[in-house]
Amino acid sequence: MQLQNMLRIPMRWACAPGPRQEVVLSSRIRLARNLADAAFPARSTPPSLKRVLETVFAAARRTPALAGAAFMRMDDLDATDRQFLVERHLISPSLAERQAHRGAAVGDGESLSLMVNEEDHCRLAALRPGLNLAEAYESARAVERGLAETLGFAFRRDWGYLTACPTNLGTAMRVSTLVHLPGLSLAGIIDRLLDNLTKLGLIVRGLHGEGTKVLGDFYQISNAAALGRTEGEIIAAVGKAVGQVADREAESRDKLCAGAGKLRLEDLVHRSAAALQGARLLSFDEASQHISCLRMGHALGWKLPGSLGLASELMLITQPAHVQMHAKKELSPGERDAARAALVRERLALVS
């Protein structure tokens, strides 16, 4: 467990103000790139993986956008460190699982990340607070251009960037946003809305992407296909759809606040705030629900402990590896629940 110092660095993207922040926590652009002269990681050999890791890290160290970045080899990190990076959206669960000759670089206040030898040789990502895909794209492109100075990427004029999985072929870009939809959930229309998004060619997932659970009404919305449209077109389409989702969420919250329902909503939100302040044992699942309600209350401008930004931060720091990183030791699930409750109380007391 060696990444404790990351706890002290404010994450530039996670809890900062941004466009449509009442619904959209963050925007993320991920680009996949592969070296033209090496096999995809899944079909590679350890010596080849090693060479790719060294080559990409060397290129990244020369990339201006990644100046000051931290470079990490997965096999230097223990399971809690790796899980900590997953929880911070800096590496994927699948990179955390396979460690040999895998690495990651994290730069610019954690708003930039680069995974090496995950499904593709390079997966670089840029994050921005709120709904701000254009800026995130510019930032990701700056990293990509820096890497391209020394790396030769696999590319074909007809297929675009070549990737291990055909769904990424073409732009090799995944545009995703982390959204908070408690109003649509309380109104009982969330499932219909998510169905509609799927029909529009979008993918809706839980907090940590593919195969992860939806917690506290936080969803990742991203593009399904990377092929057949330009980067600008994909970004515009996702941005428009997410903007509409944010509108629908805002309408739902307004409706919940109108008339007799308001008191029920206040009861729910204030009870959640109280539970976060009172609990001595708090599972992550329960914490997520209460944090979700607290965040909605702040988004509505209600007087509550903490702030909108702190609610977003709590969603991050109450995750299991974060709780252990704060405690500076491995904890059993029961100990984690106690440490999580203490951490939440402490943070809420500071900002109340």
Answer yes or no whether residue 213 interacts with a copy of itself by CB under 8 A.
no
> How far from chain centre, in Å, is Cα 346?
24
Closest to a copy of itself by CB, 62 or 262: 262
Answer yes or no whether residue 271 interacts with a copy of itself by CB under 8 A.
yes
CA torsion sign, 234 to 103 to 315 to 190? positive
Contact region for a copy of itself (CB under 8 A) — 122-130, 155-163, 165-173, 268-276?
268-276
> According to CB under 8 A, which one of 266, 283, 289, 331 is a site residue for a copy of itself?
266
Listed in order, strand segments (DSSP E) in the chain are 24-33, 70-73, 103-107, 112-116, 122-129, 155-156, 160-161, 173-180, 202-205, 218-223
Answer yes or no whether residue 273 interacts with a copy of itself by CB under 8 A.
yes
Answer yes or no whether residue 275 interacts with a copy of itself by CB under 8 A.
yes
First to last CA, the chain: 31
Q: List % helix, strand, coil for the chain (3-state, nearest 5).
A: 50, 15, 35
Q: How many residues bind a copy of itself (CB under 8 A)?
A: 17
Closest to a copy of itself by CB, 65 or 276: 276
- Contact in structure between 210 and 59 (CB atoms under 8 Å): no
What is the maximal distance between C-alpha atoms in the chain?
A: 67
Kindly state the smallest distance separating residue 274's Cβ from a copy of itself, in Å: 3
**Alpha-carbon gap, residue 99 to 122, rounded angstroms:** 15
> According to CB under 8 A, which one of 341, 343, 344, 348 is a site residue for a copy of itself?
341
Contact region for a copy of itself (CB under 8 A) — 56-64, 112-120, 137-145, 274-282?
274-282
Kindly state the smallest distance separating residue 300's Cβ from a copy of itself, in Å: 14
Closest to a copy of itself by CB, 273 or 323: 273
Residue identified by tokens 């809706």 is: 204
Answer yes or no whether residue 278 interacts with a copy of itself by CB under 8 A.
yes
Q: Is 206 exposed, middle or buried (0-12, 13-18, 19+ CB in 10 A)?
A: middle
String of contacts with a copy of itself for each residue 226-265, x by CB under 8 A: -------------------------------------xx-
Answer yes or no whether residue 277 interacts with a copy of itself by CB under 8 A.
yes
**Alpha-carbon gap, residue 44 to 177, rounded angstroms:** 32
Phi, psi of 293, rounded to the nearest 5 degrees:
-65, -40
Answer yes or no whether residue 303 interacts with a copy of itself by CB under 8 A.
no
Footprint of a copy of itself (CB under 8 A): 263-264, 266-267, 270-275, 277-281, 338, 341
